């Protein structure tokens, strides 16, 4: 058992987190009533990414990808996704990279998704309702946009569920649901938790998604709850973890590299 995992397991127990973090430890059910089953998980204990579970791009992958609607500064490539020492690493590097869209991006970075390898493929896994959790250590460098989130298998957003995002700050986590109102306009409800020195160690970010509610947890403590029926989605979703760059501002010139590490990802359903 690695020392880092022992430390995290002790912290989790102290905070009454619903999941044990230790290597080889048992996973405990979510902090919600009902009988739960662990239906998807990756502890990243191997030496390479399990491509049966994960793609390394969005569904529109063609020799890499990006999220052009956000005007992000990275082009995602599989080489920026590594597994070792019991963790997944997504590494952003300041390296001009020409995308298959013909544009040159100042950064390259990594992401994983339970979606498809290409537009016409089938998603690896989609989920409708459940408890979604991940132990993540975000980078400390400015200009990074790490996220653990979910988008519809239809690829039409909204809806969208953001379990965690760090946008313009490493001390304040954002938790969001996005939906389309009755008038067709895009709408968002967002909560925050902090300040806290999130890059200093791993933290467990989780979302309970049922037919009637959305509840976000940070280190086992509920931080935001949404029950308005209009704001709770009911469509199959893919799970994504990514390290985007350049939102809301570009990294300062002194930043050349940043790394986001993930101890594990788990999905429970009733």
DSSP assignment of the chain = --HHHHHHHHHHHHTT-SS--STTPPPPPPSSSS--EEEEEE---SSS--TTT-BSS-TT-SSSB--GGGT-SEEE-GGGEEEETTEEEEEEEEEEEE-TTS-EEEEEE-EEESS-SSTTS--S--BSSEEEEEEEE---STTEEEEEEEEETT---S-EEEEEE--S-SS-EEEEEEEE-TTS-EEEEEEEE----GGGS-EEEEEEE-SS-EEEEETTEEEEEE--GGGS--S-EEEEEEEEESSSSPPPTT--EEEEEEEEEEEEE-
CA distances from 31 to 34, 100, 206 (A): 9, 44, 10
Instruction: Please state whether beta strands 74-76 and 104-109 pair in parallel, antiparallel, or not at all (unpaired).
Output: parallel
pLDDT in the model for residue 17: 39
Judge residue 244's burial from the number of C-beta atoms within 10 Å of its C-beta, 0-12 exposed, 13-18 middle, 19 or more buried. buried
Higher pLDDT, 3 or 80: 80
- Give 5's pLDDT tier (boundaries 50, 70, 90): very low
pLDDT in the model for residue 13: 38
pLDDT in the model for residue 262: 98
Instruction: Give the range among 23-32, 177-186, 201-210 with minimum mean pLDDT.
Output: 23-32
Q: How far apart are CA 159 and CA 188, in angstroms?
A: 9
Average pLDDT for 32-53: 96
Q: How far apart are CA 173 and CA 195, in angstroms?
A: 8
pLDDT in the model for residue 26: 54
For 87-119, write each residue's pLDDT tens digit: 999 999 999 999 999 999 999 999 999 999 999
Q: How far apart are CA 262 and CA 266, in angstroms?
A: 11
- Both tokens assigned to 9: 């397991």
Q: What are phi and psi of 5, to 5 degrees?
A: -75, -35
For 110-148, write each residue's pLDDT tens digit: 999 999 999 999 999 999 999 999 999 999 999 999 999
Q: Residues of the chain with pLDDT > 90: what percent?
A: 87
For 225-253, write each residue's pLDDT tens digit: 999 999 999 999 999 999 999 999 999 99
pLDDT in the model for residue 31: 87
The yes-or-no verdict on residue 1 having pLDDT over 60 is no
Q: Residues of the chain with pLDDT > 70: what percent?
A: 90
For 165-180, write each residue's pLDDT tens digit: 999 999 999 999 999 9
């Amino acid at each position: 058992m690695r020392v880092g995992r022992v430390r995290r397991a002790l912290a989790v127990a102290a905070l009454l987190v619903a999941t044990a973090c230790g290597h080889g430890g048992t996973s405990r059910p979510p902090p919600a009533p009902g009988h739960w089953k662990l239906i998807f998980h990756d502890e990243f204990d191997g030496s390479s990414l399990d491509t049966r579970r994960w793609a390394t791009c969005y569904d529109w992958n063609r020799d890499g990808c990006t999220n052009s609607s956000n005007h992000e500064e990275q082009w995602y490539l599989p080489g920026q996704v590594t597994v070792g020492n019991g963790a997944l690493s997504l590494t952003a590097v300041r390296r001009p990279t020409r995308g298959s869209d013909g544009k040159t991006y100042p950064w390259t970075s990594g992401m994983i998704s339970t979606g498809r390898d290409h537009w016409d493929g089938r998603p690896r896994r989609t989920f409708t309702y459940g408890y979604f959790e991940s132990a993540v250590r975000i980078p400390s460098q400015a200009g990074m946009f790490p996220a653990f989130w979910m988008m519809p298998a239809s690829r039409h957003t909204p809806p969208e569920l953001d379990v965690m995002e760090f946008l313009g700050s490493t001390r304040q986590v954002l938790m969001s649901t996005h939906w389309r109102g009755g008038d067709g306009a895009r709408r968002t409800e967002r909560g925050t938790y902090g300040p806290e020195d999130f890059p200093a160690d791993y933290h467990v970010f989780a979302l309970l998604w049922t037919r009637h509610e959305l509840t976000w947890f940070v280190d086992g403590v509920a931080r935001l709850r949404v029950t308005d029926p209009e704001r709770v989605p009911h469509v199959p979703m893919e799970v994504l973890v990514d390290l985007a760059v350049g939102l809301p501002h570009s990294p300062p010139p002194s930043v050349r590299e940043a790394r986001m590490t993930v101890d594990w990802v788990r999905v429970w359903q009733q």
